[in-house]
Amino acid sequence: MTNFQRINSKSNAHAGREFEDMAYNYFRDLGYNVQKSVSVPCGIEDIKKNHVFDLGCMHEGENLIVECKSHKWTSGGNVPSAKMTVWNEAMYYFLAAPEGYRKIFFVLKDCDRRGMTLAEYYKKTHQHLIPKDVEIWEYCTDTETVEKIH
């Protein structure tokens, strides 16, 4: 049986929650009064349904929504194609979110053996699906720093 659990983690869900907590603390340290599990009406045209984003807040009159993903390259160095589908879904929800929101896709910085990060790969191969108002931020756990790549 193949095990797709993240190495050194209780479960993939646990790893995701830990990363979301890191993002929460990072935005709090920047002065954003973010909350977890923020519900926003999303939809195309006139039909809307609430979607829960990982983080969100009002900051100095600015609406902010954040989706967090801590996905990595596969252990064999391959593209985690199922995870890229999840990233595409996040882009669709950003597209369907109301205007006037700052939209940040907050992802784990993970490099392949050639030095390309997963986010750089996604931007290179899926740029046509990234809404123009979405910012992609990579978080490096080693240095606790962020780099905006889009």
Residue 9 in tokens: 């983690």
4, part of any domain:
no
pLDDT of residue 52 exceeding 60, the answer is yes
Residue 137 in tokens: 């931020």
The pTM of this model reads 0.89
92, part of any domain:
yes
The DSSP line for 133-149 is: TEEEEEEETTTTEEEE-
Is the CB of residue 87 less than 8 Å from the CB of residue 134?
no
Instruction: Please compute the mean of the pLDDT values over residues 92-115 and round it to a whole number.
Output: 95
Range of the domain at 59: 12-148
For residue 136, the domain's CATH number is 3.40.1350
What are the tens digits of pLDDT across the range 6-26?
455 455 567 789 999 999 999
6, part of any domain:
no
Total number of domains constituting the chain: 1
